[in-house]
Amino acid sequence: LFLTRWAFPSLCRRPRWISATAAMAFASQGGAVPSMRPSWPQAGPPAKRARIAPSGGTTATGEVRFADPAAAQLALDLSGSMIGDHAVEVELDSGSRDSTRITVRGLPLGYDWRDLKDFFAQCGTVKFADCVSSGGLSPSSGSTAEV
């Protein structure tokens, strides 16, 4: 190992994608080890902005059930609130017989049901909370809870 570093000092600075045997072949032919520098200029970091897109594959949908219909009516006032960088839409679920269930659209992907429950706890007692991504799959295991 010492002899290799002494005889071929360029091997100590070789890119990781070149194996030791390939680097020795380059050095034995008198050539330099190729660099990994890109030939195009690098762009800066992407700009951050709020994503307001309730439809599409970048958001999740939530369902919240309250103990009483008055709490569900209070939750409707939270439509347009920001959760993360997403503006959410809150509407009363038409399939609810007792008017205690709401549907929340525009949640960030991976949003947890516990966070959804905590967010809507300001309106009243939450009995059930669930988050489902737009593809129909739950973002995490155990995403449903009967509170």
pLDDT digits (tens, 9 = 90+) for 81-132: 998 889 999 999 999 999 999 999 999 988 999 999 999 999 999 999 999 8
Give me the pLDDT at residue 24, please.
62
Least confident range of 3-7, 27-31, 49-53: 49-53
Residue 35: pLDDT band with limits 50, 70, 90: low
Neighbours of 86 (CB within 10 A): 22
Residues 6-18 have pLDDT tens digits of 565 555 555 555 5
Dihedral of the alpha carbons of 64, 67, 68, 70, in degrees to the nearest 10: -50
Rounded CA-CA distance 144/42 in Å is: 44
Rounded CA-CA distance 51/11 in Å is: 48
Give me the pLDDT at residue 34, please.
56
The single residue listed with the structure tokens 């949908």 is 61
Give me the pLDDT at residue 110, please.
87
Task: Work out the mean pLDDT of the chain and round it to a whole number.
Answer: 74
Which residue did the predictor score with more confidence, 50 or 95? 95
pTM above 0.85, yes or no: no
